[in-house]
């Protein structure tokens, strides 16, 4: 297998800003969460997906949404993309879905103004009334690195500055 990326934690300051903005937590609470962040890992030699672990426990009632600043950034080789999905079991049991269907982390996102901080927004879409509970440190999403191609007449020359929607501005 080809090694094409490396995960890092974002800086503590970036995380504190993003976590407090997303959750309304205090800086001291955010600092405690930051210390517990785990880098994504594969569970087995044959796993394609890197598990993303919940920085803090969360629960979702049916049709509730959560935005999770993961504290993670990924340095990705040119020609590769990181795609994010819910963990299969959570999708199957709770209809947990990414709000953007599939998260796309481009290789140039690593150098964005927010340090390439990966956020994950998910919704519990189940229709059976099941509440979802994820413990701190438990896997809730997975990321898979995939190669991509470009057209023969591609002339993209823009530079990324931000995250969501920044490449169309």
- Does residue 166 lie in a domain region? no
Residue 4 domain flag: no
Structure confidence at residue 166 as a pLDDT band (50, 70, 90)? very low
Q: Does residue 99 contact residue 121 with C-beta atoms inside 8 Å? A: yes
3 state DSSP class of 57: coil
162 pLDDT above the threshold of 80: no
> Which CATH number belongs to the domain containing residue 116 in this structure?
2.70.40.10
Q: What is the mean pLDDT of residues 153-161?
A: 80
> Is the predicted pLDDT of residue 139 greater than 90, yes or no?
yes
Decide if 126 is inside a domain. yes
pLDDT over 60 at 167, yes or no: no
Closest CA to 103 of 79, 126, 74: 74
Q: What's this model's pTM, rounded to 2 decimal places?
A: 0.91
Structural domain count of the chain: 1
Average pLDDT over residues 60-87: 97
Q: Which domain range does residue 109 map to?
A: 10-148
Residue 168 has pLDDT above 50, yes or no: no
164 within domain boundaries: no
């Amino acid at each position: 297998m080809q090694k094409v990326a490396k995960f890092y934690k974002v800086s503590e300051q970036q995380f504190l800003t993003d976590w407090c903005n997303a959750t309304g937590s205090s800086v001291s609470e955010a600092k405690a969460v930051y210390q517990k962040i785990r880098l994504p890992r594969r569970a087995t030699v044959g796993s394609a997906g890197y598990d993303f672990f919940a920085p803090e426990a969360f629960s979702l009632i049916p049709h509730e949404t959560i935005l999770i600043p993961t504290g993670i950034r990924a340095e990705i080789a040119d020609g590769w993309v990181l795609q994010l999905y819910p963990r299969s079991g959570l999708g199957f049991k709770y209809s947990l879905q990414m709000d953007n269907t599939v998260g796309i982390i481009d290789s140039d996102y690593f150098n964005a103004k927010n340090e390439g901080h990966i956020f994950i927004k998910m919704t519990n879409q189940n229709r059976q009334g099941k509440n979802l509970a994820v413990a701190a440190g438990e896997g809730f999403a997975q990321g898979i690195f995939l190669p991509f191609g470009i057209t023969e007449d591609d002339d993209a020359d823009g530079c990324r500055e931000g995250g969501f929607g920044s490449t169309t501005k």
